[in-house]
Structures are given as C-alpha cells and as structure tokens.
Amino acid sequence: MSRRGPLFVARQSYRRRRLRDGARLLPLCGAFLFLLPMLWSPGTGTDRGTAPDGIYLFAVWAGLIVVAAILSPKLAGADDGATSDGGDEA
Amino acid sequence: MPFDILVLACLGYVAFLFGVAFWVERRADLGRVGWLQSPLVYTLSLSIYCTAWTFYGAVGNAARSGLEFLTIYLGPTLVFVGWWWLLRKLVRIGRQQRVTSIADLIANRYGKSNLLGVIVTVISVVAATPYIALQLQSVTLSFGVFASATPEGWGLEDRGVTAMWVAGGLALFTILFGTRNLDANEQHTGIVTAIAVEAVVKLVALVSVGVFVVWGLVDGPADMMARINASDLAAWDLQPSRWIGITLLSAAAVICLPRMFQVLVVENADERHLATASWAFPLYLFLMSLFVVPIAVVGLERMPAGSNPDLFVLSLPLAEGRGGLAMLAFLGGFSSATSMVIVAAIALATMVSNHIVMPLWLAVLPKRAVAGDLRGIVLLARRLSIGGVVTLGYIYFAMSGGSAALASIGLISFAGAAQILPAMLGGIFWRGATKRGAVLGLTVGAALWAYTLFLPSFGPGAVFSSGLMADGPFGLGWLRPQALFGVTGMDPLIHACFWSLSLNTGAFLMGSLFSFPGPLERAQGAAFVNVFDAEAGPRAWLRGTADPEALLIMAQRILGEEEALAYFEAAARAQGKAGYLPDPTPAFVGALERRLSGSVGSATAHAMLSQLAGRAAVSVEDLMAVADEAAQIMEYSARLESQQHELTRTARALREANEKLTQLSVQKDAFLSQISHELRTPMTSIRAFSEILREGAPPAAAARHAGIIHDEAVRLTRLLDDLLDLSVLENGSVQLDLELANLQQIIDRALLAAAQTRPERVFTIDRDLPREAIFLRTDPGRLTQVFINLISNARKYCAADRPELRIIVRQKGGRVSIDIIDNGAGIPKAQQALVFEKFARLPDAARAGGAGLGLAICREVMANLGGTVTYLPGQRGAAFRVTVPLRLEKAA
C-alpha cells in the first residue's frame, strides 16, 4: 500500500504508537521470563526448590496481568483512525 | 453423602442454568441486552478454556509433573496479553466477514473453498471427540467418588449409564438453546451467559477448596511452601522441550480450538471487550492455577497411596468430612465439563452443518434447495450434528474405557487443533498463502498427528499393533510412529507436535509458494490481511445478471421472510430506490453474501449466490481491472472533488448574480412603467386644459383652468423632485448637514408641517415630552422630512373616527427609537413587506395623493442617517419605528 502516513507525527500520536509498540513487546517479554526457569534447573533440580520457582512464575504472571490491565484501556481508547498494522514507524 | 441428593443437586443446578439461559434469551428478544454483553460476561465465557481437564486434571498433572501444568495456562496468557498482535485482527476479520466458525474462517480466506471447510471440520471433530469424552469421563468419575463413599457402592457398568445420561442431557440442553434460531451472527446470548455463570461457579469452587487446603489443612502459606519443597512433587524435572512445546501448544490451542474460536470471535459482541479480556482472562487463569500445587501436595500427603490425583479436588474435602465443600467442588467440575461440551457441540455442529451437510444437501437435491424454506433444514442439520458430536464423544468414552490420565487426552486434542494454526496465521498475515498450500499443510499435519499421536493413544494393540509401534510398519524402522525419521528419545507428545507442525508449516509454505491463487482467493487474501486498511476488501462480484427477485426469494429461505424483506428494503432505500428490490450491484451482492454466510457459512453462501448471480467467479484480469479502476478513481476523485467544490461555488455565485440581475431588470421595468404612468396623468390634464385655453375660454373659466394646469405642473415638479431626491439618496452621494438638534423640536416641526395634509382632520396627539428631550447629532432637516412623511401618511390613511397618533421615544444604548403609531386599520400583512418599495401604494389608492415614493425616500434617508425605518406589527394600527444613532459620525 502506498498510503503512508506522515513521516513524523505530533506528540500525542507518537505516544500512541509507542503504546502499541509496548503492547506488542509485552508478550515477548512474558515469553522470555516464562522460559527463564529452563536455564536455572539444568538436569537435576536438587539445589532448587519448587516453591520459589512457582512463586517466580506466578509473580511474572501477575506482573503481565497488571501491565496489560494498564495498557489495554489506553489501547482500546486509541483505537481510532489509522490503525494500520504496517505503517507504524516513528 | 447420599447419591440421590447428588443427582438432585445436579438436576437443580442444570435447571438453574436453564432458567438463566431462558431469562437472558427473553431479555435479548426484548432488546434489553445491556450488561449481558459486557466485557465481564465475554471474559467469563472465555473461561471454557478451563474445562474439567483444568478443574480436575491440573491437580493430577501437578502431582505427576510438578509445575509443568502451568505451561497450559502460560501460553494463553501470552496470546491474550499480546492481543494487539493477533486476537484484535482475528476478531475484526471475524466480525467483518461474519465468520461462523474456524472452518468458515479458513474456507472463507482461501477463496470460499468448501474443501478446506470440510478438512478443518473433520480435524476439529476428530480432535474434539477425545476431549468431549474426557468431560464425560470426569463427570462420571466425580459421581463415582461420591458413590464409592456410600454403602451401596457403585459398579463399573453404572458409569456407562451415568455417562449416557449426562451426554443425553447435555445434548438436549445444547439443542434447546444452541439452535433456537438461525441467527445472523451465530450468537447465542443465553448460552454465553449461562457459561459465564458456570465460570464463576468453577472459579469459586476451586478457590474455596484451595483456601480450605492452605488455611484449613495446613498452617498458611509459609507452611505450605515448606511442604511443597518437601513433597514428592518437588522432584519434578523441568524438561525444556516440554516446557516450550506445551506453552506453544496451549497458545495455539486457545485460538484454534473450535470452542475457543466460538466464544472468542463468533460470540464477540464488541471489539472493545477484547481489551478487557486481554488482562481479565489471564487473571482468571491465574486464579484457577493458584491453588493447584497446594491441593496436589496436600493430596499426596493425606490421601492413601494409589488414589487418583486427578480427583484430589473432590476426594480431599470428602475425606476430610467437608460434604458441603465437596458438593461445591463437584458442581465446579460439573460446570467445567458441561460448559465445554455445550460450546464445543455448538461450534462443531455449526461447522458440520455448514460445511458438510448443507453442501451435500445442495449437491444431492439441487431442486429442493431452490424451493422451500432452508432454515428448517439448516436447523435440523445442526441439531442432528450436536447429537452426533456428543454421541461420538460418548462412543470414544465407552471404547477407551476412561482409563487414560486426563492431561494426556487434553494435550492430544490440543495438538490436533494446533494443526490449523499455520493455515490460519498464514491466511491473516500473508497474502501469498494459497488454498493449495493450506490444503497440503492441513492434510500433512493432520495425518502426522493421527499417525504419531492420536492413533497410538488408544493404547498398544488397539489400532496399531505393538509390533508396529516398536518396529514401524512393514519393519521400516524410520517410520515408527513415536520415533519418526529416526528421532528417538523425544517425549511422544513433543515428537508428534514437532513433526506434524513443522511438516505442516513446510507443506503449507511450499504449496503456497509454488501455486497460483484463484481470483477469489486473492480478493479474500487482500481483504483478510489488510482488514484494518480498507473499509471493505475488493469485491468478488461483478455487475452481474442476478435477478433481484430471485435473490430475494433465496434470502427469504435462509433469513426468513420478514428479515429478508427488511434487509432488501433497507438496501433498496440505500440505493435511492423505492420498494423491495435493490439493483444487484456488486456491493449489494457482496453484502448479501456476507449476510447469508452469517447463517450458512461463506462457502455455502457463495455457492448458492453463484447459481443466481451468473458469472460467479471473477477472473484475475477482472480483479486487477477493478483494483486498478479503484486506484485511479481514488486518485481522480480527490482532484475531481476539489474541482467540483469550486464549480459549485462558482455556480452558486453565478446563480445569485443572475437572480439579482433578473430582479433588477424587473424592478427597472416596473419603475419605468410606473414613472411613465405617474408623469402621464398630470401631463394629460395639462394638455387638455391648455387646449381648452388655446381655443379661447371665458376669462373666469380660463383662470380656473390655468389654476389646474399650475397645480398639475406643481405635482409634476414634486414628483420629479422626489425622484431626483431618491436617486441622490440611493447613490449615497447626498450631502448631510450634521448638527446637534433637539428631537422634541424636530417632532414639533414635523407635526406642524404634516398638519397641512388633510387639515380638516383633527388628531389626538399622544406624546411624552420629557422623554423627547434628547439631543441628536444628525441631519435635522432630513429627519424632519421622514417624520413629516410618516405623520402625513397617518393623517391620510388612518380611517378611525377619532383618530389618534402616539409618538413614543426610547433611548437604548447609542440609539434612539421613535415609534409613530396611529389607531387605524394598520397595514395588511401581505403589504407590510412592500410599503417601503417605490411606487408601492395601498390598495385604496383613491385617497392617495403622492406617487408612492414617500416611504421609499424615508427608507433611503434613514439609511443615509445610519438608522432604519421599519413597520412595527402588532400595534393595533399602522406603526412605524424609526431608529437613529445618537451621534452620527461624518464618515457615514
């Protein structure tokens, strides 16, 4: 599509786009943190307890929920006009 | 606890759900949806992800493999938290294309291909069957837990009967509410609300058991931590391949499972609900998982060795003598199972009826398809399909004997559903994805899944002999179902997922790269991938030869008579036509197709419309031409639009100028004829009398005649003076002698001068002298002239027996207004607008002495003095208001 928006946008639109970037980044962050325990317990799990691992996972989980809850109303509110997937540069 | 009470509680609970669904449907029928379509209900309905597999199986899973059970909820969490990537697009596409199921989505995307619809339907049904069996099994097992505690015991054969009753009841419930009507959007408000209620019940139940375990059986969280670390459960090993694999699998399943797609996309009433669900649904999963490990640990500690960890949620409270809590837990599990079966049955039945039964019906009986009401057939097909799906689940349950651990059955189902993922993701993000690629990928993936996971799951010797499992078919070792291509040492589940998904994706990509999509595929591909860009995708219909009446007849058979008529009437009105038959424009046919696909699926709707719309399929050239045209039109339209605006402006200006000119011309003609008339009358009498004089008249008569001639000449002069005066005033080139003047004196002078008009009449003058004591800076001579004119008019025209004249002076801001009001008949409404025009005289012109220029001159004078003179209606007599500025500046 040749219909590109302007190269630079006003402060408000800029913030909105970074918000969307944040929303896209969130699951990647979550995936990284959820996969981290794989590196902690190589082979035997003798030196590590299950409870701390569980607490870590639930804490990350809760963090994701909180961040998503903060982001989502703003994203939903910003969902007007050009919401094109591709043209979100700068 | 007596078994009868348990059954009674179950029936009561089902009746309650029935009541909820019924009440909601009633409200929806009345149009009072309100909170029923709130983000909360939407989120809760998504919780059918947590089936009995979660409710009972998660604890069992945790008891067997530690924290690994969490991966099943972490995957969906990532998908929902990242809704901006995928779910938002999926829901938008689903709503825009009126998608009825996941099979419909795939079929619609790849050129409304029914073949793909059938493939996805078959995969979904096969994958869902064990899952439905799992639900029946869990309900039956939970009944068994209660029953075995009772003295009379419970035989194994009773389990089959229980499962049958449960299956039958669920099928009935689903049919009653799931196929009540053939809704345009396939939305079932009643069912969704009932499911939301069940979601609350199961959450409350599981959390209650968890709280009881942590604070009732153990000394709070700290003690719990210690016990967890000390228990057998802590010996679990994190296998990276399973950790990653199951997370991905559950992430795929949450969008590919037919029942999840149903509640996530099809039943979505508002896209904004997704924003709330993006964090609320993970929160639900979080709460559901929170107490799983504690329950498992305490269960392992307290329950006798060998008891089924899948049923700890139920057996633990029962063993501790908490009958009420056990009852709640039982209802929670019951809720989990029933809600899953209901939604899965609806989703699968929609797919089966739209993609298998209806096309078959149309193919076998094309004649019947053209006549008669199709809705009955569709509904019947759907009801039978629900029955069929539940029956399949029951048969699987009866055959498998319900022995396998819950978790493994669930994951098999997940892996089957995940085969749809490549075709789905490719379809909505990659325009190059083609039907051939999708068919290839789905077939390869499904076949591998069946070969490596599904069929072996029946156990050695059931479908595959143990020899085949160990040595491969025909002794071909590299084809061993659980060690394909020599890959050994992998977990069977991960092995199956790895091969099926990677080869599925590979076949899909290769097939897409090396094939050329049909025009309809390309159109749909663009519409899906660019769903946020265009308002509507390129149209797949050309201006065809479809007969609107035939379209209407067909639509009536699918939508019902009234609804179809209303839809066609609205479309006709939108096209600016009266009546019920719109033109079969591409836009209309496209919209109608989408509307119909909401009821019978896109492939069927497309096939049915093709029969009527003549050239159904567009060619690639057509498509490009249309797109080209569209681009050109877009380019031109902006330019044309600005040009058109300019033209409109010019045209308007021209029209206005023309109107003014016409008016002026009319005025000029009227003016000339009036003036000729006015000049001619005195001229005629002057000529007549001068002729008499020339022929010699007696001196007495001569003097009289000369007097008349003189009078007429004076009248002529006055007329010409007035005309000159008026033209000078109109040009604005009049000389004003500005000075300070007392308003009272001006009025005095005007009254005196006007008294000469019809001096025989005696007027009562009503004035308020003190208020007239105002000094104006104006041209007193001109102002007096206006007053004289107005007062003379009153004297002339006021027909009252005891004529009165009121003069009211008011000062307001920098302006002074003088009202001159008589008590005569006033001026008729029709004349009020005209009295200030030149030569305008009232109908009883007999008494009029002037040429009708007086008020016209007044108006011009006042305009020159920076004021106005207007007729003042509603004063029970003729009334004029003169307003003048207190200080007239020279420049004016």
Set of chain A residues whose Cβ sits within 8 Å of the Cβ of B270: none
- What percent of chain B has pLDDT above 70? 88
Residue B185 pLDDT > 70:
no
Q: How far apart are CA B508 and CA B180, in angstroms?
A: 38
Taking an 8 Å cut-off on Cβ atoms, the answer to whether A58 and B286 are in contact is yes
Residue A88 pLDDT > 50:
no
Taking an 8 Å cut-off on Cβ atoms, the answer to whether A38 and B272 are in contact is no
Give, rounded to a whole angstrom, the gap between the first and last alpha carbons of chain B.
Answer: 105
Q: Given A26, A51, A84, which is nearest B533 (Cβ)?
A: A84
Taking an 8 Å cut-off on Cβ atoms, the answer to whether B78 and A62 are in contact is no
Give, rounded to a whole angstrom, the gap between the first and last alpha carbons of chain A.
Answer: 18
Residue B767 pLDDT > 90:
no
Q: How far apart are CA B46 and CA B274, in angstroms?
A: 11
Alpha helices (H) in B231-322, listed in sequence order: 240-256, 258-261, 272-290, 292-302, 312-319
Q: Which long-range contacts (CB under 8 A, 24 or more apart) does B2-10 make?
A: B2/B150, B3/B143, B3/B146, B3/B147, B3/B150, B3/B152, B3/B154, B6/B143, B6/B146, B6/B327, B6/B330, B9/B327, B9/B330, B9/B331, B10/B331, B10/B334
Residue type at B109 in one-letter notation: R
CA atoms within 13 A on the CB side of B231: 24
Name the residue with higher pLDDT: B109 or B523. Answer: B109
Residue where the block lists tokens 């049904």: B125
Name the pLDDT band for A4 (thresholds 50, 70, 90).
low
Q: φ, ψ for residue B795 (rounded to 5)?
A: -65, -35
Do B544 and B532 touch, CB atoms closer than 8 A? Answer: no
DSSP string for residues in B734-745? PPP--EEEEHHH
Question: Which residue of B236, B279, B288, B632 is the best one to mutate when testing the A interface, meaning the one whose CB has the most A CBs within 10 A?
Answer: B279
For the record, the structure tokens of B261 come out as: 């797609």
Name the pLDDT band for B444 (thresholds 50, 70, 90).
very high
pLDDT for B596: 78
Taking an 8 Å cut-off on Cβ atoms, the answer to whether B243 and A37 are in contact is yes
Name the pLDDT band for B847 (thresholds 50, 70, 90).
very low
Interacting residues of B694 by C-beta distance below 8 A, sequence separation 6+: none
Q: Given B234, B276, B533, which is nearest A49 (Cβ)?
A: B234
Residue B409 pLDDT > 60:
yes
Q: Given B67, B228, B286, which is nearest A65 (Cβ)?
A: B286
CA angle B822, B826, B829 (to 5 degrees): 150
Shortest CA distance to B335 belongs to which of B125, B44, B4? B44
Does the beta carbon of A38 lie under 8 angstroms from any beta carbon of chain B?
yes
Residue B638 pLDDT > 80:
no
For the record, the structure tokens of B179 come out as: 């196929």
pLDDT mean over B482-505: 85
pLDDT mean over B298-308: 83
Helix (H) or strand (E) holding B807: strand B804-812
SS (H, E, C) B44-88: HHHHHHCCHHHHHHHHHHHHHHHHHHHHHHHHHHHHHHCCCCCHH
Name the residue with higher pLDDT: B774 or B638. Answer: B774
CA atoms within 13 A on the CB side of B642: 5
CA angle B136, B139, B140 (to 5 degrees): 85
Name the pLDDT band for B153 (thresholds 50, 70, 90).
very low
Does the beta carbon of A62 lie under 8 angstroms from any beta carbon of chain B?
yes
pLDDT for B324: 86
Q: How far apart are CA B778 and CA B477, in angstroms?
A: 120
Q: Given A54, A66, A83, which is nearest B67 (Cβ)?
A: A54
pLDDT mean over B213-222: 87
Residue B419 pLDDT > 90:
yes
DSSP letter at B35? G
Residue B281 pLDDT > 90:
yes
Mean pLDDT, chain B, integer: 82
Q: Tens of pLDDT along B372-395?
A: 667 777 888 888 888 998 998 888
Of these ranges, B24-38, B380-394, B667-681, the one predicted with the greatest mean pLDDT is: B380-394
pLDDT mean over A63-76: 88
pLDDT for B371: 56
Dihedral in degrees, nearest 10, Cα atoms B440, B445, B446, B448:
120
Q: φ, ψ for residue B433 (rounded to 5)?
A: -70, 135
Give the orientation angle of helix B312-319 with respect to helix B292-302, to 10 degrees.
50
Query: Would you call B778 helix, strand, or coil by DSSP?
Result: strand
DSSP string for residues in B676-701? HHHHHHHHHHHHHHHHHHHT---HHH
Shortest CA distance to B866 belongs to which of B777, B781, B789? B777
Number of Cβ pairs closer than 8 Å across A and B? 119
Interacting residues of B770 by C-beta distance below 8 A, sequence separation 6+: none
pLDDT for A83: 43
- What percent of chain A has pLDDT above 90? 19
pLDDT for A47: 53
CA angle B364, B367, B371 (to 5 degrees): 125
**A residues 14-33 lying closer than 8 A (beta carbon) to B:** 20, 23-24, 26-28, 30-31
pLDDT for B83: 87
pLDDT for B398: 79
Q: How far apart are CA B866 and CA B883, in angstroms?
A: 9
Residue A81 pLDDT > 50:
no
Residue A12 pLDDT > 50:
yes
pLDDT for B649: 87
Q: How far apart are CA B888 and CA B558, in angstroms?
A: 80
Residue A15 pLDDT > 50:
yes
pLDDT for B138: 84
ipTM for the predicted complex comes to 0.85
Q: Tens of pLDDT along A42-61?
A: 545 455 677 888 888 999 99
Q: How far apart are CA B582 and CA B569, in angstroms?
A: 7
pLDDT for B509: 94
pLDDT for B445: 94
Name the pLDDT band for B199 (thresholds 50, 70, 90).
very high
pLDDT mean over B10-39: 81
Does the beta carbon of A63 lie under 8 angstroms from any beta carbon of chain B?
no
| Min Cα–Cα distance to chain A from B63, Å | 12
Shortest CA distance to B508 belongs to which of B441, B443, B428? B441
Neighbours of A8 (CB within 10 A): 9
- What percent of chain B has pLDDT above 90? 14
Q: Tens of pLDDT along B68-79?
A: 889 999 999 999
pLDDT for B201: 92
Shortest CA distance to B341 belongs to which of B151, B96, B182, B134? B134
Taking an 8 Å cut-off on Cβ atoms, the answer to whether B272 and A51 are in contact is no
Give the orientation angle of helix A11-35 with respect to helix A50-77, to 10 degrees.
160
Q: φ, ψ for residue B355 (rounded to 5)?
A: -105, -15
Taking an 8 Å cut-off on Cβ atoms, the answer to whether B81 and A30 are in contact is yes
Q: How far apart are CA A62 and CA B279, in angstroms?
A: 10
Average the pLDDT over each of A49-63, B113-127, B480-494, B516-530 and give the range with the smallest value: B480-494
| Min Cα–Cα distance to chain A from B531, Å | 9
Within B259-418, strands assigned E span: none
For the CA atoms of chain A, what is the radius of gyration? 19
Interacting residues of B40 by C-beta distance below 8 A, sequence separation 6+: B196, B276, B280
Query: Would you call B479 helix, strand, or coil by DSSP?
Result: helix
Shortest CA distance to B418 belongs to which of B500, B491, B339, B351? B500
CA B349, B354, B355, B360 dihedral sign is: positive
Name the pLDDT band for A85 (thresholds 50, 70, 90).
very low
pLDDT for B373: 67
Set of chain B residues whose Cβ sits within 8 Å of the Cβ of A55: 225
